[in-house]
Structure 1
Amino acid sequence: MARLIRPIRRTVVASSKTLIQQQPSLCIQKPILNPHIQSRTCMSEMRRSAFEGNVLRLLRQEIQFELERSPPKQPATKFGSFVVEERPGEQWIRLRKKFGEKEEIKIEVTMFDGSIPAPKSGGGVDTGEDVELHITFIVNISKGDGGDVLEFMCSAWPDSIDIQKLFMHGRDQTVAQPYTGPEFKELDDELQNSLYEFLERRGINDELAVFLHEYVTNKDKTEFIRWMGSVKSFIEKK
């Protein structure tokens, strides 16, 4: 949210005096018990009102700018045979589907949680501001019989997925320190390829990575606008 906070810090301090001068008297006429105390109270109320008014103005401007520049889209409710569960106000989304007669697949997806420098078109690495954003997602596959769960921890890059870790655990994990297996990249290459194919058969592939990046980009904007609206509503309360 730095793009919001920085303009507020620059503008509020510079314009507070001007806004105070423009404010009508906010002091309720009361019997003057101590003129000095009443004067200080009046100035304090005017400064607070000017500051809050400036913050509200900047919030409204930023919300309007975001809505006019590229308004958020209605989030997708499906991807292939997956049902997409939007979770407003959270940094997660969930996808679900059934595969075959018994398998139940659940995917928990973060919003953007990392980045790397984007490669240059002619080779090498771009040292500018272009980056490739990273999304973590966790795939849980169960057989619907209350038994073990096969879990993949994966990365979604803009056009590809990477498996980072593979776990086996029970639905109700009770072991204090279960053995979680080796790092995925330590497995035999042929086994790694077979596990990628295992996921691809279930619709967990590079196309999913593309979809997730589009979805999370839209959600990031939606949540930013929602957050600014919540801040604005709070400050507006009397």
Structure 2
Amino acid sequence: MLRKAIAGCAVQAPWRMIASRPSTTTASSAVDSILLRSLRDHYQEVAKMTPPPKVSPPSPFTIVKGALENNGPVLKRSYGHEEINLYVMRLTQHYDDDDVIDQLFLHVDVSKPGQKDSMQFLCGLYPDALGIHSVSLRPKLEAGGSLQDPSKYNGPVFGDLDERMRDEFHSYIEERGINSDLFQFLQAWLYVKENRNLMRWFRSVGLFVTDQKSTKGA
């Protein structure tokens, strides 16, 4: 009975059946508009955020040109005949007795001329301390990129080394200026970079939704 009633309505007034089901194109356009509005609002909200005060890196480190636009090193310096590059990876927060503790993951690359490998440290950088997570010898980044040979032995777990050796490695990088004095600059720098990346992401997604090509460097 119900099927016959629906069929009868379709025959007598087909326009009513069509009107009750919006076209896919119309629905898609409405969804796109809502998404674009949200992307625009969030873009404007991020754009209004007040950046942290401008901070200079501790001497003798200098900012690598174009660091904000790529995933390369942030700071560099020379130490004797060594070249030292610093990469900041991300900011995390954890809690200790209800206090929020900020931590930066720092990649330190120490290279020497004529050496095919560089000594690389992965560190946790805090406002008042620095801790080493790992130490390894790997191909120089300019020669081997960020790839590593999975068959190559990169060294023991840092925590398995005896305390004296761990202390000596800390002294080694501290002698080269790798310490908590870097935290304030790198924290501010990372904030600016992540802010730019977020704005770029909102804009790029909006251009994709509207089927427009992003301009170079946007």
TM-score (norm 2): 0.70
Q: Which runs of 5+ in 1 are unaligned?
A: 1-33, 120-124
Helix, strand or coil for the counterpart of 1:182? coil
CA contact (8 A) 1:105 1:142 kept: yes
Helix, strand or coil for the counterpart of 1:69? coil
Helix, strand or coil for the counterpart of 1:109? strand
Q: Structure 1 69/153 Cα, relative in aligned 2: closer, same or farther at 3 Å?
A: closer
Q: CA deviation at 1:228?
A: 0.7
Q: Which residue of structure 2 aligns with residue 138 of structure 1?
A: 107
Which of 81, 84, 97 is 2:60 aligned to? 81
Helix, strand or coil for the counterpart of 2:78? strand
CA contact (8 A) 2:73 2:85 kept: no
Percentage of matched positions with identical amino acids: 25
Give the whole-Å Cα distance in 1 for the aligned partners of 2:124 and 2:173: 13
Give the whole-Å Cα distance in 1 for the aligned partners of 2:29 and 2:164: 67
Give the aligned length.
Answer: 193
Which of 63, 71, 74 is 2:43 aligned to? 63
Q: CA deviation at 1:90?
A: 5.1
Superposed CA RMSD: 3.4
Q: Which runs of 5+ in 2 are unaligned?
A: 1-13, 213-218
Give the whole-Å Cα distance in 2 for the aligned partners of 1:82 and 1:40: 67
Q: CA deviation at 1:37?
A: 11
Q: CA deviation at 1:212?
A: 1.7
Which of 109, 112, 124 is 2:88 aligned to? 109
Give the whole-Å Cα distance in 1 for the aligned partners of 2:43 and 2:198: 9
CA contact (8 A) 2:56 2:185 kept: no
TM-score (norm 1): 0.65
CA contact (8 A) 2:129 2:180 kept: yes
